[in-house]
Structure 1
Amino acid sequence: MKAVISLLFLGLLFLHGEALQCYKGSCTGRPTCSLPVEICTGDQDQCVRRYGIRTPKGISANHRGDLTWTTQGCATKANCLELKTIKHYSRCCSGDLCNSPKEM
């Protein structure tokens, strides 16, 4: 019985190790900050980074201005497609911790 429980536990560790990891949280007023890592669950197979950049004319998607906020986390492919459709300022990626401001 102990062997079965040990094997189940090891199996859960293996499955957990295969899950995508993304940075989660938000930064305001600076391009980088220290963020915790989250393990994506279910059909969350993308990391996302949403951002806003303040320019003299307001918030802009180009990189000519001051970064005012970023949020990072896990997302589904459908979430990422929706963000593109509404022209939200975001980037999605599919590698572990790929949503770091330095990576995008």
Structure 2
Amino acid sequence: MKAVITLLILGLLFIYGEALTCRNVKECNSKGKCSNVTICHSVLEKPKDEIRMPLNCMLQECNPDGQCQKYMTICFDGRDQCFFYIDAQSRPRKGCATKAECKEMKKLYSASAFCCDTIACNDQ
């Protein structure tokens, strides 16, 4: 019986261990330069249906010169807030969020997290 339970647990760990996918991306840091970062997410997460929202948020991406470049995005799937915060690695984070996600960000990054329903708080 113990062997069956052990195999079951190992099987679950294998399934969930394999369900992560990682990729290397260039991201903006607090100095406005780009650095390599590894991002992982679960492949079990299903993408949500996109519902167009009448809100634009300011994001940042790395251009070919290795500089951070601001650009606009339209928020989708019920995200009706723009957010901005500095993460634990001192990287600026910008984008769209739901009110619940904003509440969570403010708990985690209280000193640096801003959310609002216009582009203004996000245009830093």
- TM-score between the two structures when normalised by the length of structure 1: 0.51
Aligned to 2:114: 91
Partner SS for 2:82 = strand
Question: Quick one: higher RCO (CA 8 Å, sep 6+), 1 or 2?
Answer: 1
Aligned to 1:34: 69
Aligned length, in residue pairs: 68
Identity of aligned residues (%): 33
User: Contact 2:86–2:109 at 8 Å: present in 1 too?
Assistant: no
The residue aligned with 2:55 is: 20
Q: In structure 2, what residue type is equivalent to 1:75?
A: A
CA contact (8 A) 2:82 2:94 kept: yes
Aligned twin of 2:99: 77
Instruction: Give the distance between the partners of 2:91 and 2:107, measured in 1 at CA.
Output: 21
| 1:50 CA drift (Å) | 1.2
- Structure 1 segments, 4+ long, off by >6 Å, are none
Q: Which has the larger radius of gyration?
A: 2
RMSD across aligned C-alpha pairs, in angstroms? 3.0
CA contact (8 A) 1:26 1:70 kept: no
Gaps of 5+ in 2: 1-51, 63-67
Q: Is contact 1:24–1:72 with CA below 8 Å preserved after alignment?
A: yes
Q: Secondary structure at the match of 1:34?
A: strand
Of 59, 80, 85, the residue aligned with 1:45 is: 80
Partners of 1:52 and 1:79 lie apart in 2 by 15
> 1:83: how far off?
1.1
CA deviation vs aligned residue, 1:1-32 (integer Å, no higher than 9, x gap): xxxxxxxxxxxxxxx6x6100012368xxxxx
Residues 87 and 51 (structure 1), Cα distance of their counterparts in 2 relative to 1, 3 Å cut: closer
Amino acid at match of 1:83: M
Instruction: Give the partner amino acid of 2:115.
Output: C
The 8 Å contact of residues 22 and 99 in structure 1, kept in 2 or not, is answered as yes
